[in-house]
Amino acid sequence: MSNSDRPDRSARPDSDLSASCKARVAIACAIGSAVGPAAFYSPTFPFVLQAMSQEFAWPIAKITGAFALSVLSVPVVLSVCGFLVDRFGARSVVLPAIVVYGLSTLAFGFVGASLWQIGLLFLLSGIGGLAATMPLLKTVSATFGNRRGLALAALIGGAGALSGAIAAPGVQAVIAQWGWRTAFLVLAGFILLVALPILHVLLPGETSGRQAPTNAETETGANDGSTLSEGLRSRAFWLVTLALAFNAFVVMAFRQHIVFIFGEQKLPADISAYATSVLLLASILGQFGAGLVADRSRRPIASLPFFLFPAAGLILVLFADDIPSIALTGAFLLGLGSGGENCLSPILTARYFGLRSFGRLQGIKLAIMTFATGLSATATALLVSAGWSYAELGRAALFLLALGAVAVLGLPPYPSPQTVKIAR
C-alpha cells in the first residue's frame, strides 16, 4: 500500500464521541471563531484606520505602527499558548483569554488621541484574541479526526469568514453613522455578552497532558506524533511555514490597504467594502475546498492551487484599472487562497507531526504567520510613504507568492503510519 493510500494516523474516529458532545464542540468553536480577531479586527481595520487617521490627523503609518507593536509579543504568546493547550486543554486557555480580548476591545470605545494607549489596546486585544481562538484548532482536530479538513473549514474558517463578511460592511456603517468608538463597543458586546457565555457553557473541559493516554487514545493516534524538537528540525515544518507566511503577508497587505489600492485604480469608494465582503465570502469556499482536498488526498501537492489563487487574483487587481468586476474577481481569488491557507495550516501540522505537540508546533507556525501579517500593513505603508505605488508593491508581492509556491513544491510526502511515534 502506498503512502498516499494510508489512513491519517493523527485522526481520531468520530464514533469515539457522542453526537451531543460533537454538537457542543461544534457550536462553541464556531462561535469562538466568529468573534475572533480574524473576523472582527482584520476585515474592519481598513475602515477604523481611515477614521482614526481623519480624526487625529495622523499619517497612516503612525497608526499601523501602533498596531504592529502588538505583533512583537505574538511569537512568545502563541508559543506559550500552544504549550498550555497541550498541557491543560483548550478551555483553561480560551475562557480567560476571551475576557481580556473583550475588555480591551471595549476600552477602544473610550480611548483618546494617545498613540501609546491605542498601541497598548491593540497589544492586549491581539494577545487575548489569538489566545482565545488558537486553542480551538486542536479541539476541532481532536474531535473530528476523520473529517478534520471539513470540520476546520466549517467551524473555524467558515464561521470566522462569514462573521467577517458581515462585520466589514456593518462596522463601516456604524463608523459612518456613530463613529469608530461606537463600532468597538458593538464588537465588544458580541464578545462579552454573546460568545463568552456560550463558550463557558459549551466548551468541554479536557484532561491534563500530565495524565497517561488511554488505550483508545493510543490505538487511534490521538497521542501519536513528533516531539517539538523533531518537528522544528524537519524540512516540512519550515517549508509549510514559509509558504503560509508569504501568502498571509500578501493577502493581509491587500486587505488592510484595500481602500487605498482601489483608490489608486480609480474605483468607486464603496467597491472596497464590497470587495472585502467578496474576499471573505470567497475564503469560506477556499476553506471548504482545502478541507475537502485534504480529507481526500494524501499528497501535499494537492494543496498547491490554494497558493496560486492569490497570485492570479493580485494580477487581476493590478490590471483592473477602473473596472469593478475585474477588481472583485481578483478579490474573490485572493479570498480562495486566504481561506485555503487558514484551513491547511492546522491540517498540515497534524498530517506531518500528529497531535502530540500540535499546540506548540501550530503556535510557533501561527506566531510566524501573525508576525508576517502584522509586518505587512506597516511595511506597505512605509513603502508607499517612500514613494512606491501600489502597482509596484503588487509586483513585489507576486515574487513572494512565487516563493511560497516553490516551497509547496518542495514538500516531502506525508509520513507513513510506521514512522509516527506514540507518546509513552
Q: What is the pLDDT of residues 331-340, one digit of tens each?
A: 899 989 988 8
Length of the chain: 424
Q: How many domains does the chain have?
A: 1
Residue 246 included in any domain: yes
Mean pLDDT along residues 296-321: 87
In angstroms, rounded to a whole number, what is the distance separating the alpha carbons of residues 243 and 196? 34
Question: Angle at CA 355, nearest 5°, toward 353 and 357?
Answer: 75
Residue 420 included in any domain: no
> Given a cut of 80, is residue 122 above it in pLDDT?
yes
Q: What percent of the chain has pLDDT over 70?
A: 87
Q: Which residue has the cell 464514533?
A: 15
Residue 423 included in any domain: no
Average pLDDT of the chain is 81
- What confidence category does residue 71 fall into, taking pLDDT thresholds of 50, 70 and 90? low
> Given a cut of 90, is residue 376 above it in pLDDT?
no
In angstroms, rounded to a whole number, what is the distance separating the alpha carbons of residues 42 and 255? 8
* pLDDT for the residue numbered 224: 65
- What confidence category does residue 9 fall into, taking pLDDT thresholds of 50, 70 and 90? very low
Residue 421 included in any domain: no
* pLDDT for the residue numbered 10: 47
Residue 3 included in any domain: no
| Parent domain of 113 | 9-206+220-411
Residue 196 included in any domain: yes
Residue 180 included in any domain: yes
* pLDDT for the residue numbered 216: 30
Mean pLDDT along residues 157-180: 86
Residue 4 included in any domain: no
Q: Provide CB contacts within 8 A for 281, sequence distance 6+.
A: 161, 162, 165, 335
* pLDDT for the residue numbered 294: 82
CATH number, domain at 73?
A: 1.20.1250.20
Burial of 216: CB neighbours in 10 Å, binned 0-12, 13-18, 19+: exposed
> Given a cut of 90, is residue 356 above it in pLDDT?
no
Taking CA atoms, 317 is separated from 310, 339, 368, in Å, by: 10, 18, 27
> Given a cut of 80, is residue 90 above it in pLDDT?
yes
* pLDDT for the residue numbered 70: 67
The identity of residue 311, as a single letter, is A
